[in-house]
């Protein structure tokens, strides 16, 4: 049935499809009647928040919940400024980093302008671009047999820049591929940008990086005032349910973003939790260390199944199932394991699997092994029938 109000919507909105998050546990329970579910679909920190966060949330006075939070996020901006070595005027707070990405698109794009992203870039970029009526210019990704399979091709992205370009989105590391761009080529790319083009480097998974060639682009802000760096507390810090992220940029850009930032867009509990999470360095380090060890173990096990994984720098792996991935995804659901199909990215043979705790990863590998064995047995029987 067609929507009678679609003709009233803004042109960019008419052709949009809603962002599809990973299947919630409660939805799988309703649909399949299964229990004891593990969710490895949304790149969350399986350890959740640390004790400092939980204690800080419990200590919020009851009376504070009836009051609006600090709309300017003074204390949190001060803490983030100290963390990154910048002035508080460089910080823009958001209801998750998605909120900040949408603000950036709303502030700098319109129907006569363009934004560039890579072929397998985070799905929010094209949504934010199209919603404001701008044109998305999509650069082909690097080939599957390159050193960075399906990763950003900076030369291809540079070739799309025109006088209408206002934004370029680069996730580093990238979701859903897990690939990343080293400091030298990224710095060269920024140096070649015209001043009318702003580069947005999305470092949502940056806390998981420990390679000396990985650039924290916040360090480049003094040299490149047309640079915006986004971060989130949803991944390594374990605060996905509270929705809080931020951007770091030149004060002049932050001032523009603040003009359209919605009042009180970061709630009281998110403010409190983020402050506590920044102080809990031990929990962050433990989360990163566990992820690295388990990611290596999961990738090795998947290779033992004969599956190819894109080398990942995040808290997830992109796996080529060697066949259409949806039947495997559905079979895993019936075994109470939620992973993420990525056909919406044009990767219909792949699944994206978040890294869980050791017991969760054990269950994943057991379930996947059973699914693959069953599929292999079915193919064998079909072959014998011929």
Q: Quick one: pLDDT at residue 378?
A: 59
Residue 65 has pLDDT above 70, yes or no: yes
pLDDT (average), residues 77-100: 98
**Residue pLDDT, tens place only, 90-149:** 999 999 999 999 999 999 999 999 999 999 999 999 999 999 999 999 999 999 999 999
Residue 291 has pLDDT above 90, yes or no: yes
In this structure, are strands 198-202 and 165-171 parallel, antiparallel, or unpaired?
A: parallel
Averaged pLDDT of the chain: 95
Alpha carbon distances (Å) from 113 to 6, 100, 134, 137, 199: 24, 19, 5, 10, 15
User: And the tokens for 241?
Assistant: 């349910």
Helices 268-279 and 74-84 cross at an angle (nearest 10°) of 30
Judge whether 98 and 240 are in contact, CB under 8 Å: no
Domain 6-48+282-385 matching CATH 3.90.1150.10: the answer reads: yes
- At residue 287, the pLDDT reads 98
pLDDT per residue over 251-285, tens digit each?
999 999 999 999 999 999 999 999 999 999 999 99
What residue spans in the chain does CATH classification 3.40.640.10 cover? 51-280
Q: Is the pLDDT of residue 379 over 80?
A: no
Q: Which of 95, 241, 230 is nearest to 175 (CA)?
A: 230
Mapped onto helix, strand or coil, the DSSP state of residue 305 is coil
> What pTM did the predictor assign?
0.94
Q: What is the pLDDT of residue 12?
A: 83
d(CA 334, CA 91): 44
The yes-or-no verdict on residue 382 having pLDDT over 90 is no
Say if residue 239's pLDDT is above 60: yes
How far apart, in whole angstroms, are the C-alpha atoms of residue 290 and residue 358?
Answer: 9
Q: How large is the average pLDDT for residues 345-364? A: 97
Asked whether the beta carbons of 50 and 40 are under 8 A apart, the reply is no
Per-residue pLDDT of 147-162, as tens digits, reads 999 999 999 999 999 9
Q: What tokens does 289 get?
A: 């260390």
CATH 3.90.1150.10 in the chain: give the residue spans. 6-48+282-385
Q: What is the pLDDT of residues 294-336, one digit of tens each?
A: 999 999 999 999 999 999 999 999 999 999 999 999 999 999 9
Average pLDDT, integer, range 166-187: 98
17-63 pLDDT, tens digit per residue, is 877 778 888 888 898 889 999 999 999 999 999 999 999 999 999 99
- Tell me if the domain spanning 51-280 has CATH number 3.40.640.10: yes
pLDDT value at residue 381: 56
Q: Show Cβ contacts of residue 272 under 8 Å, excluding neighbours closer than 6 positions.
A: 56, 57, 60
């Amino acid at each position: 049935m067609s929507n009678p109000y679609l003709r009233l919507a803004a042109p960019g909105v008419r052709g949009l499809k809603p962002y599809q998050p990973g299947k919630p546990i409660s939805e799988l329970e309703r649909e399949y009647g299964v229990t004891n579910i593990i969710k490895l679909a949304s790149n969350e920190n399986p350890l959740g928040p640390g004790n400092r966060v939980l204690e800080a949330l419990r200590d919020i006075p009851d009376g504070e919940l009836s009051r609006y939070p600090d709309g300017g996020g003074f204390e949190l901006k001060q803490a983030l400024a100290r963390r990154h070595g910048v002035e508080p005027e460089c910080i823009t707070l958001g209801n998750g980093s998605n909120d900040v990405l949408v603000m950036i698109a709303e502030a700098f794009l319109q129907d006569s302008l363009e934004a560039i992203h890579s072929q397998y870039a985070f799905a929010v970029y094209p949504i934010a671009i199209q919603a404001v009526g701008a044109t998305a210019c999509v650069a082909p990704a690097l080939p599957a047999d390159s050193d960075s399979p399906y990763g950003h091709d900076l030369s291809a992205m540079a070739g799309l820049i025109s006088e209408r370009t206002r934004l370029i989105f680069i996730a580093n590391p990238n979701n859903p591929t897990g690939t990343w761009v080293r400091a030298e080529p990224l710095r060269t790319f920024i140096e070649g940008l015209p001043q009318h083009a702003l580069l947005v480097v999305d470092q949502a998974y940056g806390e998981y990086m420990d390679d000396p060639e990985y650039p924290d682009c916040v360090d480049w802000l003094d040299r490149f005032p047309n640079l915006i760096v986004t971060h989130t507390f949803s991944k390594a810090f374990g605060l996905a349910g509270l929705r809080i992220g931020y951007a770091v940029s030149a004060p002049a850009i932050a001032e523009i973003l603040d003009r359209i930032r919605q009042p009180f867009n970061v709630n009281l509990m998110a403010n409190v939790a983020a402050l506590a999470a920044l102080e809990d360095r031990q929990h962050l380090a433990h989360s990163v260390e566990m992820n690295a060890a388990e990611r290596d173990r999961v990738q090795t096990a998947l290779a033992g199944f004969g599956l190819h994984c894109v080398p990942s720098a995040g808290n997830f792996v992109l796996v080529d199932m060697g066949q259409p991935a949806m039947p495997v995804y559905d079979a895993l659901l019936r075994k109470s394991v939620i992973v993420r199909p990525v056909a919406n990215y044009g990767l219909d043979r792949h699944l994206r699997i978040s890294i869980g705790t050791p017991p969760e990863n054990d269950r994943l590998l057991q379930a996947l092994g059973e699914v693959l064995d069953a599929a292999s047995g079915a193919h064998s029987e079909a072959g014998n029938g011929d």
